[in-house]
Chain A
Amino acid sequence: MRHRLQFTAKKLIRMALLLLGVSLTAFLLMDASPLDPLQTNVGQTALGSMSSEQIARLEEYWGANTPAAERYLGWLGSALRGDLGVSLLYRRPVPEVIGQRLANSLWLLVLAWALSGAAGLALGVLAGASRGRWPDRLVRGWCLLISSTPAFWLALLLLMVFAVWLKVLPVGLSVPIGAAAPTLAQRLRHALLPVLTLSITGAANIALHTREKVVDVLDSDYILFARARGEKHILRRHVLRNVALPAITLQFGSIGEIVGGSVVVEQVFSYPGLGQAAVAAGLGGDMPLLLGITVITAALVFGGNLVADLLYGVVDPRIRRGAARG
């Protein structure tokens, strides 16, 4: 048990260091951008009509003349206390904006994550178990096609078919316009097309990788031996158990893909989620919000990796014992 705790602590420290790196990288990139905090926030015309003292005071306010290192340390200090600054676009504290947007996005992300994982695993096992025959060819062809399709075009296609042509699903937004207290059914109806897009694109990747693993397992000596002994249920007893570890890696590793995909898909469906906020922040030069979203997203991804690492021990007794010994 102590070793498990040590292992977790090590991973947590690594995660904290990575998050520090992400925030520093994002900060430096934004600092390097030619976007002038004054021009983007005040506007060219307003800036032109201001006196030089006013401009100087604004420059002081946004820290245009403070060195980058000092500003980063200042940001880091307040970020550790939970203060990520004020969003320039929404004029509200960044954690508040992110929290609200994330609550909207979470519907999409969780549904798409679960759906793509389940569908990908099922398709991958099906393809691997029938290697070379038509189900395998079909699944592989489908996955190749889908992984060559840009998520936003797939979203446009679904939108054209279901919302414009058949008129059965809404064109966009997360709730009907003007709905003060949306029902669960309304929310799900609006989330359906984005979730479908994200699941279809996400499942292809997982299916292809799962297939490779299933093929590897089926080629192994122990499967040959099991066959020679005339065992039944080889798929359930041997293949699924051995595919469990890579499947966990894939499932938790796909968080980044899903979040990245949601940035594009939310834009197509005008879904007021985290991804749309990221695009708005980038286009509008809202640096505090973009920085906050980057760090939160990275934390989600690293958190997923951490959970995968911890689950290995739960699923695989060898790793559990190996960790206890070392």
Chain B
Amino acid sequence: MKNRRKNALILLFFACLLLLAITLAGGALSETASETNFAHKNLSPCPAYPFGIDWMGRDMLARTLAGLSLSIRVGGLTACVSAAIALALGTACALSGGWVDDLISWLIDLVMGVPHILLIILISLACGQGFWGVTAGVALTHWPSLARLVRGEVIQLCAAPWFRMSRRLGVSRGQLLRDHLLPHLLPQFLTGLILQFPHAILHEASVTFLGFGLPPEKPAIGVILEESMAYLTTGRWWLALFPGLTLVAVVALFALMGERLRLLLAPASAQD
């Protein structure tokens, strides 16, 4: 029989390696990505330039890789921040109860009530757009669902007999938090964190595409696709196809990793 655990670990390892390679390659290529060369422009994909050349003679492969690298970095930063917010608010909610719980639950409902895109646009505008605008926007809108999950989990843990017993035995709050709550929350939190990545990357790309995110001189995927719009009707399909396709691949890789990790970390489904 195949060993699912081992397979999943191998997949995780190679996925991480691939993503790391893309991030590094994109970072190294960010100079090449904005190099223009009007001697050859509007080339459709060929062996020398597998992703083609745009109307300013820029290599689309370099641009795409640089864009993906930027996406992964922004996605990583925003996913970590929003997961940290979710953990803090979710535990605070469940542990303090009373009006704090009511207030944070209300806040969760509030953030979930406005479509993400609209809220990100508003926050990005408030922060003066650009890199920090979109980062703040994505980071501040993606925590509610994970916070709700953490809250439910902590409430369940607090009701567990062993937790109540150690509380009665006089274990201090800090120790309870460190020894009993965090180890149980960690798997949920890790999966939640990785599953934030796809949403964060997609929302960053969408908001940049709409013109509220990363500035147009940066080779972000959203910028590339936004520019390609003007050339689509003239039949330059490669400008939109490959950057989008690779973005889908990267996001799907993150989603797959999160999904596998979730199955692996939950004892009931580890052998599923």
The SS class assigned to the A binding surface is: helix
Contacts of B198 in A (CB 8 A): 147-148
In the assembly, what is the distance between CA of A263 and CA of B117, in Å?
8
**Across the interface, do A264 and B209 meet the contact criterion of CB distance under 8 Å?**
yes
Within 8 Å of chain A (Cβ to Cβ): is B158?
no
In the assembly, what is the distance between CA of A293 and CA of B122, in Å?
11
Within 8 Å of chain A (Cβ to Cβ): is B233?
yes
Contact of B210 among A21, A165, A263 (CB under 8 A): A263
Within 8 Å of chain B (Cβ to Cβ): is A156?
yes
Among residues of B, the one whose C-beta sits closest to the C-beta of A281 is B121
**Across the interface, do A267 and B114 meet the contact criterion of CB distance under 8 Å?**
no
Contacts of A283 in B (CB 8 A): 211-212
1/0 contact trace for A142-158 toward B, CB 8 Å? Answer: 00110111111100110
Among residues of B, the one whose C-beta sits closest to the C-beta of A159 is B232
Contact of A256 among B115, B206, B248 (CB under 8 A): B115
**Across the interface, do A298 and B114 meet the contact criterion of CB distance under 8 Å?**
yes
Nearest-neighbour CB distance to chain A for B129, whole angstroms, equals 9
A-B contact count (CB 8 A): 137
Within 8 Å of chain B (Cβ to Cβ): is A207?
no
Contacts of A263 in B (CB 8 A): 115, 117-118, 210
Within 8 Å of chain B (Cβ to Cβ): is A260?
yes
Nearest-neighbour CB distance to chain A for B224, whole angstroms, equals 11
Within 8 Å of chain A (Cβ to Cβ): is B229?
yes
- Number of A residues near B (Cβ < 8 Å) is 49
Within 8 Å of chain A (Cβ to Cβ): is B244?
yes
In the assembly, what is the distance between CA of A238 and CA of B260, in Å?
30
Within 8 Å of chain A (Cβ to Cβ): is B228?
yes
- Sample of 5 A–B contacts (CB below 8 Å): A25-B122, A29-B122, A33-B128, A157-B244, A279-B121
Given contacts A18-B110, A298-B114, 16 further A-B contacts (CB under 8 A): A18-B113, A21-B106, A30-B122, A35-B125, A148-B251, A148-B252, A150-B209, A153-B240, A156-B244, A260-B116, A263-B118, A264-B206, A279-B210, A283-B212, A297-B118, A302-B113
Chain A interface (Cβ within 8 Å of chain B)? 17-18, 21-22, 25-26, 29-30, 32-35, 144-145, 147-153, 156-157, 159-160, 164-165, 171, 256-257, 259-261, 263-264, 267-268, 278-279, 282-283, 290, 293-294, 297-298, 301-302, 305
